[in-house]
Amino acid sequence: MGGCRRLRWSVSLCALVLVASRTVAAEPAAEVDYNAAIGPLFAKYCVACHGAEEPEGKLVLESYEALLRGGAKGAVISPGKADDSRMVRMLTGAAKPVMPPDDSERPTAEEIAALKRWIDAGAKGPSGAAPDPTVLVVPKIEPKGTAAPAISALAASGDGKLLAIARRKEVEIVEVGGSRRVHVLSGFAGSASSLAFSRDGKHVVAAAGEPGLFGEAVVWNVGDGKATAKLRGHRDALYAAKLSPDGALLATGSYDQKAILWDVATGKPRHTIDRHNGAVFDLDFSPDGKLLATASADRTVKLWNTATGERLDTFGQPLKDVYCVAFSPDGRRVAAGGVDRRVRVWEIAAEGREGTNPLVYSRFAHDGAVLKLAYSADGKTLVTAAENRTIKIWNAATMTPRRTLESQPDIPSGVALSADGSKLYVGRLDGSLKTYELGGDAVAAAAVDAAVVEDANAFPLGSLPADVPAPALADPVAEVEPNDAPVNATTLALSANGAVATGRIHVGDGANVRKVDADLYRLAAKQGETYFIETSAAREQSPCDTKIEVLDAMGKPVPRMLLQAVRDSSVTFRSADANQTGFRITNWEEMELNQYLYVGGEVCRLFRFPQGPDSDFLFYESNGRRRAYFDTTATAHYLDEPAYIVRPLAVSSNPIPTGLPVFELGYVNDDSGDRKLGTDSRLTFTAPADGDYLVRVSDTRGFGGEKFGYRLTVRRPRPDFAISFGDRNPTVNAGSAKRFVVRAERIDGFDGEIRVDITGAPPGFAIASPLVIEAGQDRAWGVVHAAAEASAPSKENAAGSKATARATIGGREITKTVDALGEIKLAAKPKLLVRLELDRPELTAASGDAAPKAPKPGEGAVAETTASEPPTVLIAPGTTVTARLVIERNGFEGEVKFDVDNLPHGVIVDNIGLSGILITADRSERQLFLSARDWVGEQSRPFQAVAQAEGNQASLPLLLKVARPGQ
C-alpha cells in the first residue's frame, strides 16, 4: 500500500488491482468471480488510495456498487468491453498515465488476462455471501525454527496478585509468583498491543485490531474470563486502550490518528478526538478521570477534558514521535517519552488549562527511543524502557536515575510494577519474562554519583588573611634546557607563597632544542593544597601564546573532574566567536539558568534566557567577553556544533549512564577563563594526593623563537575583592532619579555576597542603600533621587558620598571603603517622570496586558508600605506577581522603552514584547509581571525602572521580598 503514488487522476491507482495474488491466475478461464478474486484484489491493492475516506479522483473501490459509479471522469470499466475500459487501457499503456506507477510492481500477463475476462464476461457483481472485508489477505510465512511467542504487552493488577501477558492471538492471566494460568483470553482481531487492568482489578482490556482495516478493544471479566465488551472502531489497528478509574469510559488510540472515548455500558463513542496529526501511540487517564493525556507521532502530548472532549493543552516540546505517556498516581504530573530519547515531565494544574501546565523536567534517558514508562503506585519511582534494550529506574520526584538494569536480551515490550513497587516485571520480544527485585538496590544506587562538584571556583581557602598583603615571591628560577621530558624537568621549590620561573619556547635544530619545544617544571605538593599557576607573556609584549598543563610525575595528565552530559543541544542560527556573550542553542526551553554548557571543549554557564524569537541565550561574562569555567578556554563554535548541558562530578564518581557522553577534564588552560589575562594562561590546581607534579608550558600554536619568553608563577590563592562605581558624577533632575552601577572585581576565586552601604548624599537627595552584589554576580544597580524641592548641592557636600563594602572571606569580614558617586549635580524637572507602584487590583483585568503565568493563590502578594523602607512586593520562588509602571508626561509625547534594574538573579519581567518593556505614545502606564525561578533564595532587594529616553530618567525603587509562602 505504501508504494501507491498520490496522483489526482480518476483511475489513478485502480490498476494496482492487477498486482494480484497467485489465486487469480489459477481461476478457470471460463469465469472470474468478483467475491473470490476481484474484490479481494481491490481491498489489497487499491483501497489505500481509493477508500471511502478522501478517495483519489473520487474513485472508491471498496464495493462493487462504488466501482460502477466510477470517479471524477466517469466510468472506469465498460462491462462486456475490456479493451474499451479505461482501467485496462491505462494498465496496458494505451491511455495515459500508464498505471501502475513506475515505482510499483507490474502485473503479470495472466493477471491482466483474468481482469479482462471478468470485464468481457459482463463484469458481474458479487453473488452469495461476500467475503469478510476485515480479513486481511497476507501470505503465510512459516518460521524456519522454533521461537517462543513474543510478548507484545504486559500489565499488573492493582492488588499485585495477577499479571496479564499478551502473546500472539491470546492474553494470559497468571498468578504473580507462580506459574498457574488463571485464564487464557482470546477472540480478538490481530495481536494485542497494550494491556491494562481496571483500577479495581476486576477487568482487563486489550487494544488490538487489523492494521489498515479497523481497531478493536476487548474488555474481559477477570473473575470468569468472559468478554464483557468488544468495541470496534477506527480505521486502523489500536495502539492503546485504557479504562477510566470508575470503569465507565474506555479510551482507545489508533494509527488512524484518532482517539475515541467510549461509553462502556452502551458500547457507543462519546467523543472522537481527531486533533492529532499522527498516530496516537499511548494514552492515560488522570486518577480522578477528568483528564486524558494522549501521546502521538505528531511530536506532541495533548490534554483533554473527558466530559466534553475539549482539548485543554498541547505540549510541543518533544522533538520526535512520542511513544508513551502516564499520569503520576497523584495526578499532579504527566510523564512522556519517545523517539527523541528523552523523558519529559509536566506539572498539571487541577483543570489542565493551557498555560498552567509547565514543563518541570526534561531528561535524556536512553540511547534509543523510549518505548514504555510506568509509575509505582506510591508515585516515588518511574521506570523507563527503551529500544536499545535498556531499562532505568528513576526517582520520580527529582527525575534523577537510581539504577540501570542489565542489558536486556531483546527489546522490552512491556513493563509493570508490583503493588508495593518492590518488583519490576519485564516482558520482551523474544518471549521471555523476568522479575527484578528493586527494593534496596534502587536506593543504594542513588549514592553512586553523589560526589557532585557544586562550585566552579570552589577550593579550600585555608587561613590566609585576605586583608594582609602577600609576601614577595622568591627570586625567579631560570629554566635549564633540555627540560621537555619528566626526567629532566626544572625543579621549582615552593615557598609559603609559591615560586616563579622564567623560560623561553625555542624552535631550532640545535642539539638541545626541538622543533616544537615544551618546558617542564617539577613541584612537590600535598593533598588538598591549592595553587594558582599562571603565565605572563603577551602582557610583557612576548609573541608567545602560552598553554599550561599539570601532569603527574610520569608525565600523564592529572584528571580534574568528570562532566556528565544530561541534555544534548547544538549551536543554531549562526556560528559564534570566542568573545560573544551570547549565541543561540537548540532545546534551550528545557534548560535552567546557572547550568553548565559544554561545547567544543569550552564550559560556559547559562545566565539569561532569550527574551524573544530574535534573541540569544546569554552566558556569564567577564570584561565584556564570554567567561569559561573549570579553566577551559573560550573558543569559536561552528553552526550545528554539538553542545551538552553537563553536571560536574568528582573523578572518583561512577555516574549512571544516560546515553550521553561523559567528558574527563584535566588541568589544562590556554587563555584564562576569567578573560583578565588576554592570551596568557591561568589555572587552579588542587593536588589530589601527596607527591610530585609537572607543569608543562608550551605555545598553543606550536610556535617558538628567541623572543618567545614567558614568566611562570605558582602561588597560593589570596581571595579578595574590590569595588568601583559606574555612572559617576550624575546630574539628577528635580523630582526624578538617575541610575548608577556598583561593580565588583572578584580576585582569586572569591565568589561570595558583597554588601555595599552608601552614605553622604547631599541635602534633598537620597541614595538607594544598602545594595547587595549577589554571590556569583559582579554588579548591582541603584538610584540617586532628588526631591522636587531640592536645592543644588554645595561644593562642600556635592562630592561627599562614600561606600563601604563588606564581605566574608575565610570566616572573616573584610571591609573596603571607596568614593561613591563623585560630584552630584541638580537639573530642572524633566519632561518625563517615572514611577514604580504597587499594582492596583482593579486595573489588572482591564490593563490589556497578557499574563504569561497566573500567580498562584497565596504565594504572591503586596506587603504594606512602611515609613522605613520602600513599598514592598512579596513574591514566592516559582510564582509570578505584578507591579505597575507609570509615567508622568510633562511635554514628552513619544513611546518610552524601559529597563528594570537590580532584580535578583532568576527574577525577570515576564511580559515583555518584541520591543522590550514599552509604554506606547497613547498610554501612560502598564502592568509588569515579575516571575521568579523556583530556586531563587530568600532576600529583600530594591529594584527600579529606567527610561531609555529623556536622559534615562529612573524611578524610586520598590523593594522585592522573596520569601516562601507563610514566611
- What's the mean pLDDT when you consider all of the chain? 87
pLDDT computed for residue 48 by the predictor: 72
Contact residues for 182 (Cβ-Cβ < 8 A; gap 6+): 162, 173, 174, 175, 222, 225
With 60 as the cut, is the pLDDT of residue 448 above it? no
- Write out the three cell numbers for 697: 608550558
Average pLDDT over every residue of 559-574: 96
Contact residues for 814 (Cβ-Cβ < 8 A; gap 6+): 466, 467, 720, 721, 806, 807, 808
Residue pair 614/582 in contact (Cβ under 8 Å)? The answer is no
Which amino acid appears at position 481 of this protein? Answer: E
Contact residues for 474 (Cβ-Cβ < 8 A; gap 6+): 493, 495, 499, 500
Average pLDDT over every residue of 52-67: 84
With 80 as the cut, is the pLDDT of residue 107 above it? no
Judge residue 103's burial from the number of C-beta atoms within 10 Å of its C-beta, 0-12 exposed, 13-18 middle, 19 or more buried: exposed
Residue of 461, 464, 533 lying closest to 498 (CA atoms): 533
Give the integer Cα–Cα distance in Å for 399 and 346: 12
Residue of 333, 283, 290 lying closest to 310 (CA atoms): 290
Contact residues for 490 (Cβ-Cβ < 8 A; gap 6+): 477, 479, 480, 483, 501, 503, 519, 520, 521, 522
Rg of the chain over Cα atoms, rounded to whole angstroms, equals 37
With 90 as the cut, is the pLDDT of residue 680 above it? yes
Residue pair 92/106 in contact (Cβ under 8 Å)? The answer is no
With 90 as the cut, is the pLDDT of residue 25 above it? no
pLDDT computed for residue 442 by the predictor: 41
pTM: 0.78
- Is the bond preceding 642 in cis, omega lying within 30 degrees of 0? no
Contact residues for 260 (Cβ-Cβ < 8 A; gap 6+): 233, 234, 251, 252, 254, 269, 271, 272, 273
DSSP letters, 71-120, are BTTB-S--TT-GGG-HHHHHHHTSSSSPSS-TTSPPPPHHHHHHHHHHHH
Phi, psi of 219 (to 5 degrees): -110, 130
With 90 as the cut, is the pLDDT of residue 132 above it? no
Average pLDDT over every residue of 391-415: 95
Sign, Cα dihedral of 294, 298, 301, 304: negative
More confident residue, 692 or 658: 692
Q: Where are the alpha helices (DSSP H) in 857-958?
A: none
Note the pLDDT tens digit of each residue in 884-915: 999 999 999 999 999 999 999 999 999 998 88
pLDDT computed for residue 123 by the predictor: 86
Give the integer Cα–Cα distance in Å for 583 and 569: 12
Instruction: Give SS3 for 844.
Output: helix
With 90 as the cut, is the pLDDT of residue 140 above it? no
CB count within 10 Å of CB 309 equals: 17
pLDDT computed for residue 1 by the predictor: 40
Distance of CA 612 to CAs 319, 608, 796, 906, Å?
A: 20, 12, 48, 17
Contact residues for 892 (Cβ-Cβ < 8 A; gap 6+): 830, 831, 832, 949, 950
With 70 as the cut, is the pLDDT of residue 78 above it? yes
More confident residue, 246 or 915: 246
Average pLDDT over every residue of 945-960: 97
CB half-sphere exposure, 410, CA atoms < 13 A: 16
Instruction: Give SS3 for 445.
Output: helix
Contact residues for 928 (Cβ-Cβ < 8 A; gap 6+): 882, 883, 884, 885, 900, 909, 911, 917
Residue of 837, 870, 834, 839 lying closest to 945 (CA atoms): 834
Which residue's entry shows cell 502530548? 301
pLDDT computed for residue 464 by the predictor: 33
Note the pLDDT tens digit of each residue in 460-517: 333 333 333 344 556 789 988 889 999 999 999 988 778 999 999 987 655 554 567 8
pLDDT computed for residue 960 by the predictor: 97
Least confident of 303-307, 544-548, 865-869, 875-879: 865-869
Give the integer Cα–Cα distance in Å for 340 and 321: 7
With 90 as the cut, is the pLDDT of residue 282 above it? yes
**In the structure, what pLDDT confidence band is assigned to residue 434 with cuts at 50, 70 and 90?**
very high
pLDDT computed for residue 523 by the predictor: 95
- Write out the three cell numbers for 57: 479522483
Give the integer Cα–Cα distance in Å for 624 and 608: 15
634-654 CB burial, b ≥16 within 10 A, e <16: bbebeeebebbbbbbbeeebe
Average pLDDT over every residue of 872-892: 95
* Percent residues over pLDDT 90 in the chain: 71
More confident residue, 68 or 967: 68
Residue pair 418/156 in contact (Cβ under 8 Å)? The answer is yes
Judge residue 726's burial from the number of C-beta atoms within 10 Å of its C-beta, 0-12 exposed, 13-18 middle, 19 or more buried: exposed
Give the integer Cα–Cα distance in Å for 493 and 474: 9
Residue of 274, 275, 289, 278 lying closest to 242 (CA atoms): 289
pLDDT computed for residue 304 by the predictor: 98
pLDDT computed for residue 561 by the predictor: 97
**In the structure, what pLDDT confidence band is assigned to residue 113 with cuts at 50, 70 and 90?**
confident
DSSP 440: H
With 60 as the cut, is the pLDDT of residue 458 above it? no
Least confident of 129-133, 487-491, 934-938: 129-133
* Percent residues over pLDDT 70 in the chain: 87
- Write out the three cell numbers for 667: 588541568
pLDDT computed for residue 268 by the predictor: 96
Largest CA distance in the chain: 123
